[in-house]
Amino acid sequence: MAAETPVTAFNMTNTGDVAKREAFSLWYNDRASGSGTLSSPAWELVGYKLESSDMGIDYETDETKKDILGNTFVELAGPNRSFDLSSWNLIQGSKLQVDCMNALRYENEGGMAYLESGGDFCLVHHYAGVSGSAMLAERWKGCSMKPGRLGGDGGANLTTDITVTMGGTKEIGTAAISSGVMTFTKTDAPSAWPTSLS
């Protein structure tokens, strides 16, 4: 498999065009209910009836230091990526919500282990790569899922909070989406990036 070529621009049409929020999507492989496996995933698009969500990138131990010559430099630890799914309406059809509920209900029967590292998620960058057929994507095969709240105001919808933290094996690749079905294809990373600096 040949190493992929890094993109040099986003795939919007004109200079100055902006990407819409839906151009960055999160997909969940429903392994817990048996409809998906690691080798044959059943991808569910996350976000229906969710009004706002961000992926936080935390470098944990970014540190500013000074050497003996008086030069200041910064060291960054590898980034932790977490998706905040807050105030998400409880909806019929969400496998992720159902799997989180069952994991808490059966916490002593293996549910906690699934929440800690059982999640298989894919991030798709619709704004980069070939739109629709070869968009940049990353798959993580050992993610944690942390249900944090279930409730809401009287007379309002029942909502939940779930935090997804990317972890385990990371694969880079591309995603194709047709009729709502996402297919992830693994690619090889270049041996170095940037390849040269002048």
The pLDDT tens digits of the residues spanning 86-108 come to: 999 999 999 999 999 999 999 99
**2 inside domain:** no
Tens digits of residue pLDDT in 7-33? 999 999 999 999 999 999 999 999 988
- Amino acid 63: pLDDT: 75
Q: Within a domain: residue 66?
A: no
Rg (Cα) of the chain, in Å, rounded? 19
pLDDT digits (tens, 9 = 90+) for 32-57: 887 899 999 999 999 999 999 999 99
Report the Cα–Cα distance between both ends of the chain, in Å, rounded.
Answer: 29
For residue 6 the two structure tokens come to 């890094």
> Which segments of 23-127 does DSSP mark as H helices, in order?
95-105, 111-117
Is the model's pLDDT at 61 over the cut of 70? no
Considering the domain boundaries, does residue 193 fall inside one?
A: no
> pTM for this one?
0.90
Domain for residue 3, yes or no? no
Check: CB of residue 140 under 8 Å from CB of residue 63. no
Q: Domain total for the chain? A: 1
Asked whether residue 192 is domain-assigned, the answer is no
Is 5 within the bounds of a domain? no
Cα–Cα distance between 169 and 128 in angstroms, integer? 22
Nearest Cα to 184, choosing from 27, 34, 48, 55?
A: 27
Which two three-digit tokens encode residue 168? 């385990």
Residue 65: inside a domain: no
pLDDT at 1 over 80: no
CATH number at residue 85: 2.30.110
Interior angle at CA 120, CA 83 and CA 185, nearest 5: 105
pLDDT tens by residue, 151-177: 999 999 999 999 999 999 999 999 999
Quote the domain boundaries for residue 152: 21-58+72-186
Residue 53 lies in a domain: yes
